[in-house]
């Protein structure tokens, strides 16, 4: 088990399989950073994204590009609707954070319930086959799905970085994230920033759900578990640190992958939740490598 080729395979598949989780975590962490909300309604948007693409590809037999576009339109549209007719209403009422939490959670359950009625509860995949062609490179099995996942995630992260750093809209998001009221004094619309972040998150969600849905079966309840992985990544990375949350997701996947060298598969989830438990207790503001290094 400790041969270099096995370790390299674990490293690669750990990174590749973390791709969709990184995308979901970034979408979740970015929303939290800019709006200050733990937006569990994103699990409903994950369900919308997957089933929209599933419907377009399988029931309508649309080409892939059209199916993805359909997924983006429905997911981003629902995110905007939630923002305008849900979250903004609560903000206007000066509702407390518990009310936001309950609202997003109930909304997610509602969306998933409707999707259950529409699509049933059998596991579905985007494509009939869940196999992806594999190349053996240097003794390591690398599938087309792996390549797509890593490329898509790296591209999305680079794009987000460039957007946040080099565009005015991105800088507005950062300003609203720092202090929404102060930003508004400078003429930056917080409401617009919230809508922009809703659309960006929707793009990340669609990309992630495409990857997950082309790799294995999804039932309407699956997103409720997926959003939990996004929460764990966000907590580990530290609230407000979007790219650190992305790294935390990769780290979590690698911990789970490498733990197989020492632990049975059945302990992997226990390890994950144990890590989260320890993080919340010991590092409530997330794990900061620089500080750990400094100690």
Partner 1 sequence: MTRSLNLPRRTVLAGALIAPFVVRAQGKEPIKIGNAMPMTGSQAGYGNDFVTAMRMGVADVNAAGGIAGRPVELIALDTQAEPQLAINAVNRFIGVDKLPMFFTAWSPVVKAVAPIANREQVLEINCGANSPEIANLGDYVYTAFPLAEVDVVKLAKYTFTTLGKKRVAVLYINNDTGIDAAKLYRDTFTAAGGQIVAFETYDPKATEFTGMLLKTRAANPDMVHIHGLINDIPQVIAQMRQLGLTQRVSSYSAAYNQKLLDQLGAAAEGLIVTSLAPGVADNPRVAPYIERWKKEIGRVPNGLPYTQYQYDMVYLVKALYEHLDKKGTPATGTSLREALLAVREFDLPLTGKMIIEGHRVDKTVYLLTVEKGAYVPLATLN
Comparison of 16 and 41: residue with beta carbon closer to partner 1: 16
Comparison of 31 and 214: residue with beta carbon closer to partner 1: 214
Q: Who's near 292: CB < 8 A, 6+ residues apart?
A: none
The stretch near partner 1 (CB under 8 A) out of 10-18, 97-105, 197-205, 236-244 is: 10-18
Cβ atoms of 196 and 84 closer than 8 Å: no
Judged by CB under 8 A, which of 59, 65, 137, 265 binds partner 1? 265
Read off the DSSP letter of residue 57.
Answer: I
Q: Phi first, then psi: give them for residue 288, nearest 5 degrees.
A: -110, 110
Using rule CB under 8 A, residue 143 touches partner 1: yes
What are 48's two structure tokens?
């919308």
136 membership: H or E segment, kind and range: strand 134-137
Residue with tokens 């930003």, as numbered in its chain: 183
Using rule CB under 8 A, residue 260 touches partner 1: yes
In the complex, least distance from residue 109 CB atom to partner 1, rounded to whole angstroms? 15
Comparison of 265 and 290: residue with beta carbon closer to partner 1: 265
Residue with tokens 């994103």, as numbered in its chain: 42
Using rule CB under 8 A, residue 278 touches partner 1: no
Cα angle, residue 134 at apex, residues 131 and 140 outer, rounded to 5°: 130
Cβ atoms of 80 and 191 closer than 8 Å: no
Residue with tokens 């997957």, as numbered in its chain: 50
Using rule CB under 8 A, residue 290 touches partner 1: no
Residues touching partner 1, count (CB under 8 A): 40
Judged by CB under 8 A, which of 154, 269, 280, 291 binds partner 1? 269
Using rule CB under 8 A, residue 256 touches partner 1: yes
The stretch near partner 1 (CB under 8 A) out of 9-17, 82-90, 101-109, 158-166 is: 9-17
Helix (H, G, I), strand (E, B) or coil at 134: strand
Judged by CB under 8 A, which of 37, 68, 215, 286 binds partner 1? 215
Using rule CB under 8 A, residue 138 touches partner 1: no
Q: Which of residues 38-97 bind partner 1 (CB under 8 A)?
A: none
Judged by CB under 8 A, which of 63, 155, 159, 216 binds partner 1? 216
The stretch near partner 1 (CB under 8 A) out of 40-48, 129-137, 153-161, 198-206 is: 129-137
Rounded to an integer, what distance in angstroms lies between the CA atom of residue 141 and that of residue 147? 11
Cβ atoms of 41 and 107 closer than 8 Å: yes
- Number of neighbours of residue 43 by Cβ within 10 angstroms: 28
143 membership: H or E segment, kind and range: strand 140-143
Using rule CB under 8 A, residue 116 touches partner 1: yes
Rounded to an integer, what distance in angstroms lies between the CA atom of residue 250 and that of residue 245? 9
Q: Who's near 224: CB < 8 A, 6+ residues apart?
A: 43, 108, 112
Judged by CB under 8 A, which of 17, 35, 234, 249 binds partner 1? 17
In the complex, least distance from residue 198 CB atom to partner 1, rounded to whole angstroms? 27
Judged by CB under 8 A, which of 99, 134, 278, 280 binds partner 1? 134
Residues that bind partner 1 (CB under 8 A): 1, 3, 6, 9-10, 13-14, 17, 116, 120-123, 125, 128-132, 134, 136, 141, 143, 145, 212, 215-217, 219, 225, 256-260, 264-266, 268-269
């Amino acid at each position: 088990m400790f041969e270099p080729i096995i370790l390299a395979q674990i490293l690669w598949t750990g990174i590749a399989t973390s791709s969709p989780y990184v995308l979901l975590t970034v979408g979740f962490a970015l929303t939290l950073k800019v709006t200050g909300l733990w937006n569990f309604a994103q699990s409903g948007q994950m369900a919308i994204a997957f089933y929209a693409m599933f419907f377009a590809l399988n029931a309508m037999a649309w080409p892939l590009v059209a199916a993805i576009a359909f997924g983006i339109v429905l997911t981003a549209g629902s995110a905007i609707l939630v923002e305008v007719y849900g979250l903004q209403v609560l903000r206007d009422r000066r509702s407390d954070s518990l009310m936001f939490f309950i609202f997003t959670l109930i909304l997610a359950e509602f969306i998933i319930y409707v999707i259950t009625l529409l699509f049933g509860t059998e596991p579905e995949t985007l494509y009939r086959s869940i196999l992806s062609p594999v190349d053996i490179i240097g003794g390591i099995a690398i599938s087309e799905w792996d390549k797509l996942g890593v490329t898509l995630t790296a591209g999305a992260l680079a794009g987000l970085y460039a957007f946040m750093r080099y565009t005015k809209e991105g800088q507005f998001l950062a300003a609203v994230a720092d202090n929404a009221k102060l930003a508004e004094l400078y003429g930056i619309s917080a409401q617009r920033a919230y809508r922009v972040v809703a659309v960006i998150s929707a793009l990340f969600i669609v990309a992630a759900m495409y990857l997950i849905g082309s790799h294995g079966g999804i039932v309407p309840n699956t997103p409720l578990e997926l959003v939990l992985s996004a929460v764990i990544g966000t907590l580990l990375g530290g609230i407000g640190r979007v790219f650190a949350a992305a790294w935390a997701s990769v780290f979590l996947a690698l911990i789970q992958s490498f733990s197989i060298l020492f632990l049975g598969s059945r302990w992997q989830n226990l390890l994950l939740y144990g890590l989260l438990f320890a993080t919340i207790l010991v590092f409530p503001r997330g794990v900061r490598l620089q500080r750990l290094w400094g100690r």
